[in-house]
Amino acid sequence: MSDVVYLTKEGLKNLKKELEQLTNVERPAISKQIGEAIEKGDISENAEYDAAKDAQGMLEAKIAVIQGKIANARIIDESKINTSKVQILNVVTIKNKKNNATMTYTLVPESEADLKQNKISVNTPIAKGLMGKKVGDLVEIKVPSGIIPFEIVEISV
């Protein structure tokens, strides 16, 4: 995995915390399950052993992915974020010109997206349509339900 992963300091901290949980808590727990299954005798027909080995394989794959993300992480310096035009880590307020609904989103790296907190990935159609635009700009963004006209009301950090 050699793709650069853009993260905030908080995003990197969360990834490291998750990695620590997986390696220091979940990995030993699975090893213990495997040991207990082996103690029960013949492992060739032991469903508990097979399930534990499968879980171990999935856990190790997840650990490898997170380690790759951490190794290729580039921290975004939030102090250098510009608000003259829409870019990553901006808080953007937009107005739907069809129904006059106003929405505010924070544009974040994909790994930090959380719609419940109004954090959308820069890879979403809405974020892509807003990137590089300025306050007052009208943009038509193609979403699954069709094309929606938005006006950029505010850009902040």
Give the per-residue pLDDT at 109.
86
Cα of 127 vs its chain's centroid, Å: 14
Give the per-residue pLDDT at 4.
77
Q: Which two tokens stand for residue 58?
A: 């999935």
Is 5-75's fold the same as 78-156's? no
Domain assignments of the chain as residue spans, ordered by start: 5-75, 78-156
Query: How many CB atoms sit inside 10 A of residue 39's CB?
Result: 8
Q: Does domain 5-75 have CATH number 1.10.287.180?
A: yes
Alpha-helical regions (H) of the chain: 9-21, 27-39, 47-71, 125-130
Give the per-residue pLDDT at 2.
55
Q: Which two tokens stand for residue 26?
A: 């979940």
pLDDT in tens, the chain (157 residues): 457 788 888 889 999 999 999 999 999 999 999 888 888 877 777 888 888 899 999 999 999 999 998 998 888 877 777 889 998 889 999 999 999 999 999 999 888 889 999 999 999 999 999 999 999 999 999 988 899 999 999 999 8
Instruction: Report whether 46 contacts 36 (CB < 8 A).
Output: no
Q: What is the CA radius of gyration of the chain?
A: 22
CATH number of 78-156: 3.10.50.30
Exposure of 141 in the CB half-sphere (CA atoms within 13 A): 22
Give pTM, 2 decimals.
0.66
